[in-house]
Amino acid sequence: MIRFIYMNPKIIHEDDYIIVIDKPVGLVVNRAESVKGKTLQEWLEARFKIDDLRFKREENKEFINRSGIVHRLDKQTSGLMVIAKNPESFYNLQNQFKSRTVAKKYYALVHGKISPKAGNIRAPIKRNPRNPFRFAVIVGGRESETDYRLIDYYENEREKNPGFKFYSLAEVSPKTGRTHQIRVHFSHLKYPLVADDLYCGRKTLNKDSQWCPRLFLQAFYLEFTHPESKKRLNFKINLAKDLDLAIGKLSKIPEA
């Protein structure tokens, strides 16, 4: 089991209406009875007056209950998130996500050599009836769509087993926002994400953990319309240091 050291989010941008953060790996976004330790919600509530008396109206209940959090990232996933600092900004951003006008891009390192090198994955996702902690591609599930393009192929030159020798670094753009969407879609195609403790299998996870400290998935790009100025904003961060060190243990395969 991978254990995480708690770290505060890094603030990338802040104004009177929104805050854009780089969420660290290991930080749970939403408060819940099953969650032990500090969450992003508690960090926000300590920093901002989410329950300001000006906002305490019935129509603002969702904004207060969510502490301004418009979307989420898994505990094991790091990267960019936008949070609203008032109800008007919250509902504006929420509508942007619902209408799919927000652009999100992730770095994902997966097992195997992805083919084709660019594609669109459309497969319905539903909670796995055999394991409530996992999701799966199931007929009748919620519509889910993911675009991807290959960045580079990699090889672990120290590995003898061909099943653990090759990897693909991809830029992934989810068009919908289902729980575990990227992880489920690539696992379904037999390209599970590196160090995925839910979807890559125990043997594979044990192998991955020898050189990669955590799930190789990072939200590195976020683009949306500012709820007040209406200007189109975009934010981009570099590959996280721990993931950069991990991929540095592999060798890039020159394209033929």
Report whether 152 contacts 195 (CB < 8 A): no
Q: Is 170's pLDDT higher than 70? A: yes
| H or E element, residue 111 | strand 103-111
pLDDT score, position 70: 96
Q: Read off the pLDDT of residues 203-225 as tens digits, 9 standing for 90 and up.
A: 999 999 999 999 999 999 999 99
Query: For position 198, what pLDDT does the model report?
Result: 95
Compute the chain's Rg from CA coordinates. Answer: 19
Q: How confident is the model at residue 45 (pLDDT cuts 50, 70, 90)?
A: confident
Instruction: List domains and CATH numbers for the chain.
Output: 10-253 (3.30.2350.10)
- Spot the catalytic one: 74, 197, 208, 244: 74
- Segment 72-92, tens digit of pLDDT: 999 999 999 999 999 999 999
Active site residue 74: yes
Helix, coil or strand: residue 224: strand
What is d(CA 5, CA 221) in angstroms, rounded to the nearest whole number?
Answer: 24
Q: What is the pLDDT of residue 50?
A: 65
- In this prediction the pTM is 0.92
